[in-house]
Structures are given as structure tokens and as C-alpha cells.
A and B are shown apart, each in its own frame.
Chain A
């Protein structure tokens, strides 16, 4: 009989080590295996988190390491929550979150529904549709600045072609009222395929014979859609919303490349604002408090959402 990997490993273990291992309980061996992971996790995740929480109660500035660090209680939190600029960025983020998810779910589900129909070449179409998702956000941000260019931009040309508006009369990323939409459009273009893929997985998980049963039960296509397709895809859809929500709450690279938070601060999302406070103004304590607030917000929203998701799944 050929020897198993465990037997071979046992043979090459030096006798001294083997003797020592033999004395260990299963539990001890388990601890030996998980300890490195726990140490790394503590070092790069848990410790910084606790350190950040501590810094958020101080006036520490990382560019002035010689200044005495003063404990200032909740002053940072107070300043952030009463600052109108914070609420501006929160609003910009909310706008960005809501509309990107809205469009991505709507278009993503519609695309998935169409792709799921059996037609020739739907695999090829899936590949083409998924392409934007594979690009680097920095690249996407960069080339969309060209597409949005009023004189030579393809986007402006297309809008003018369909509406007759002069293409040079508007600038998507230069205009205060259009800029928030410019980032919504790009993010939707880039990430709708992701929502589509998840919806497609959901649609493919519904067996044909359920539709056949519904057909025999005399349910119209419309009723089949609302009583079978939607409820059965809903958990997948909610998962897609969760992923996109968390991702877009911390959206940084794409928007920085595209608008840099401007014009003014109309597209300055919370993560961009945070980066400015922390690494341009060097208000480390203040930025830490800001980070804690964002963390609690995302964590809170996500846990409420996951509860809802589980309820939908259990239904």
C-alpha cells in the first residue's frame, strides 16, 4: 500500500522533534497552527484599530512628533459632527452610494435577465460586459476624464448626438451640478457587470422545472417574474448591494483620478476628505476620530443589513 502524506511526513520528522510533538495534545497542536495568523491579525488589524481609537481622543499630529500629546476627550468628535463640511461630504457620499447602487442593481439585473435567456453567443456577451470590472480604477478614472472632455470627449459627443445639445456647452467634471453625476456614471459603468454576475448566478440557480410547474399552474409570465424570479434572486441581489455599498462607502481611487474631489468639494467623498485631514493637514487625532465615526457607521449599517439579508434567506 502506498504511504500517505502524513506517514511520509512522520518518517522525515527528526526523532527529537517527534518525541516532543508526541507529548502535545490536539488542542496544543491546533494553537501552534493558528498562532501566527492571530499574531499577524493583532499586529496589522486589531492594534491599529485600538491605537486609532486612542488617538481620536487626543490632539496628536504626526508631523509634529515632538509636541506633547494632550488628551482632549470628545473634542474631536464634537468638532467633526458640528462641522458643516463633514455633512457636505456625507451628503456627497450618500448621493454617490444611493444612485450607484440604484443604477447598478437596475441595469445589472436587467442585463442578467437578458443574458440568462438562451441565445447564441451569450457567453461572448458576458465576457464583453464584464470587461470594465477588470480594469484598474486609476486607469478608468484617467480615461474617463478624456471621455468627459467637452471639446474632444466621446461622452459629450454622444450626448450631443442624441439630444442636439452643443457638446462644448457642458463639462461633466467641471460643473458643480454635473460632477456628482459624473462619478455615478463612471462607477456604474465599471461595476454594473459585477452586480450582473451575481444576479446571473441567482437566476441560474432557479431550476427550469419550477417555471414549468408555474406554467402548468397557469401563472402568467408577469406573475412568474414577481412570485418566483424576484423572491428567489433577492438574496443574491441583496448580497450584491452589500458588496457595492461597502466598496463605495470607501470609494477613493476612481474619484480622486477623475475629479480629485472637485469642483470645490462637490465630489469630495468621506474617504477623500479623511485622507486630506490625515495626510495633507496632518490632523492625526481629528482624522482618527473621523475614521472611528466612519467605521462605526459602516459597521452599524452593514450589521443591520446582514440581519435583513438573513431574514430574506430564511424566508
Chain B
């Protein structure tokens, strides 16, 4: 395992900007999650680190060495592809053995067997080891694809939405499993997702990408509580942060144009009157849809509430976040 650092990486495809001046440091043993919508440059970042793409400018340092001109093999990284990329003509076992058979590693047969069995056990695919890769379900393929990375001991694991094709139950199980493996191995992982729960639960650091730029980089709590921009604030939190013109409540700092209200920033009981337009019972929480001066607000309330649709309740901000007209944070 090793430190990985991107310095001012820029990459464009034809005329589209893929990444723009991205700098990012992943320390040894960290679990870094890149969060962002489709096209934000998450996968491009992984491919650049893996060596499958070459940056237009900037440097990539792995373990104290600039690897921009190295081949993927020289970089010693393991990648889990979103589209599985299994070797279709090989069995699951052969797929898992493939990286170990690299002449660079020269793995003895018994070690190889043990590693493959261990990984298969963890990912619960032991019973499928002798199946052909094409005879698996999507979820199984994805696990084999992860297994192919985990059998190795690379400098960094690069994972491109590895859980996206799994069902909810398996996804939450593997999320915990992956976190456990990472802690056990002390592995360095760069993980790409658009799922905020994955990001919040697994990451030691989160990087939020927007249109090829790294908007903010920091621990999950900090990203959630202290977002640097309106964009970052909307990426985390469920229900989403509500943004309203500051004029509605007043008391805003100079230069701010928008007020950002997460459910925990909304105090119910006093302040501005608004109407309850809808109530969603989600079991562990109740979502209130409110209408205030022509704006929609979604917030949470406790599960034993007596509030009904059509009621008028008063709300007021409690420690909200302010943004200027461009969406930047105002402190």
C-alpha cells in the first residue's frame, strides 16, 4: 500500500473537459470516496491513476514516484470496473487467479489456491468457483470482479461503483464487508460512487467532484456539516438541503443570497407560518413537505407527530448555512 497524489491534473476528451486542475492526496491506508453525478470526472480520475488514460498536464505520484509515463502494470494498481470486465471464457477460479499468474508476482500454486479460496469465501462465491464467468448473475459477476482485485496486494485499489448493480441487501452487506477488509488489510482504496450513503459510511475522506473540478475534499462529517458550496451541500443529506432566498427569514450575514436548511437546521414551533402539503411515512422517519411563501421545504419530524396535511405550523432556522449568489459559502 502507498500514498497516492494527484497534482494539477487536467484531462480533456476532444473538446469536453474531463478533469480540470484536480489535486488530491490519498494517504496510505485511507478509504477515499469520490462523489459526484455522471460525467463529473470520477471514472476519469480512476483511469488516470490506473494508467489507462494519460493526463494532458499534471503529475500523478504513487509511493513517492511520478508515474505519469508508467504503464498500468508498472504502477501496480488493482481496478474494479463498473462493467465487471471479467474474462468471459474463463471460470471464476481462473478469473481470480489471473492477476496472481502475472510473471511479476510469481505466486506459488498453493498460495494462489489459498488466496483465491479466502477471497471467494469473503465474497460468498465459493460455490461458483468452477462456473464460467458468463454463467453468473450480475451481482455475482460484480463480486468476482472485486475478488480479482482483492486477491492482490497492490499499492492502491481503484473501485468504480462496484456495488451499483447489486440489490439493496447485498449492497449494504458488502459495504460493511468492504470496510472490514479495508481496515484489516490497511488497504488504500479510492472508491467512486454517486451513492451518498456509501460515501458517508465507508469513507475516511470524501472528494466531491463537479464538472471535472474537485469542489471539496475532507472527512465525511466535515463535508456534511461544513460544505464549501451549495453544490457540495446538495450532494449529501437526505432529504436534500432546502435552499431559499435569505429575505424570507432575515438575519443573514452580508453578501449572502441563499439560506441552506437541512432538517436539523429547522426548528418547528415558532417563526414563520407555513402550510403542510404532504406527509410521507418512511417507517423510521416522517417527512414533512411544507409550503412557505411560494417555496417548497422538506424536513423531518418525530414519528409520533400529530401534524396533519393542511395544518399550519411555524418554523424558524437554527444555525443554517448561507451561500452567496454564485452558490459559494458565506461564513
Report A174-213 CB contacts with B as 1/0, cut-off 8 Å: 0000000000000000000000000000000001011011
A210 to chain B: closest residue by CB: B85
Complex: how many Å from CA A255 to CA B86? 47
A228 to chain B: closest residue by CB: B87
| List of A residues within 8 angstroms of B83 by Cβ | 207, 209
B81–A217 touching, CB < 8 Å: no
| List of B residues within 8 angstroms of A223 by Cβ | 102-103
Complex: how many Å from CA A223 to CA B50? 19
A230 to chain B: closest residue by CB: B89
Q: Is A215 an interface residue (CB 8 A)?
A: yes
B89–A213 touching, CB < 8 Å: no
- B66-116 CB contacts (< 8 Å) to partner A: 71-73, 76-79, 81, 83, 85-89, 98-99, 102-105
A220–B103 touching, CB < 8 Å: yes
Complex: how many Å from CA A232 to CA B89? 7
What's the dominant secondary structure at chain A's contact region? helix
Q: Is A231 an interface residue (CB 8 A)?
A: yes
Q: Is A218 an interface residue (CB 8 A)?
A: yes
Q: Is B52 an interface residue (CB 8 A)?
A: yes
Q: Is A50 an interface residue (CB 8 A)?
A: no
**Taking each of A209, A231, A315, which has the highest tally of chain B beta carbons within 10 Å of its own beta carbon?**
A209
Choose from B81, B85, B88, B102 the contact partner of A218 (Cβ within 8 Å): B102
A212–B104 touching, CB < 8 Å: no
Interface size class of A (residues with CB under 8 A): 10 to 19
Chain B residues within 8 Å of chain A by Cβ, number: 26
Q: Is A216 an interface residue (CB 8 A)?
A: yes
Complex: how many Å from CA A217 to CA B154? 10
B85–A213 touching, CB < 8 Å: yes
B50–A219 touching, CB < 8 Å: no
The 8 closest A-B pairs by CB, nearest first: A217-B99, A213-B85, A218-B73, A218-B102, A209-B85, A215-B72, A216-B79, A231-B89
* 30 A-B interface contacts by CB (under 8 A): A207-B83, A209-B81, A209-B83, A210-B85, A212-B52, A212-B81, A213-B81, A213-B85, A213-B148, A214-B87, A215-B73, A216-B52, A216-B72, A216-B77, A217-B78, A217-B98, A218-B72, A218-B73, A218-B99, A218-B102, A218-B105, A219-B98, A219-B102, A220-B73, A220-B103, A228-B87, A231-B89, A232-B88, A232-B89, A315-B132
Given A215-B51, A215-B52, A228-B87, 8 other A-B contacts at CB below 8 A? A207-B85, A210-B85, A210-B87, A210-B88, A216-B50, A217-B99, A227-B98, A231-B89
Point out residues on B near A: beta carbons under 8 Å: 50-52, 71-73, 76-79, 81, 83, 85-89, 98-99, 102-105, 132, 148, 152
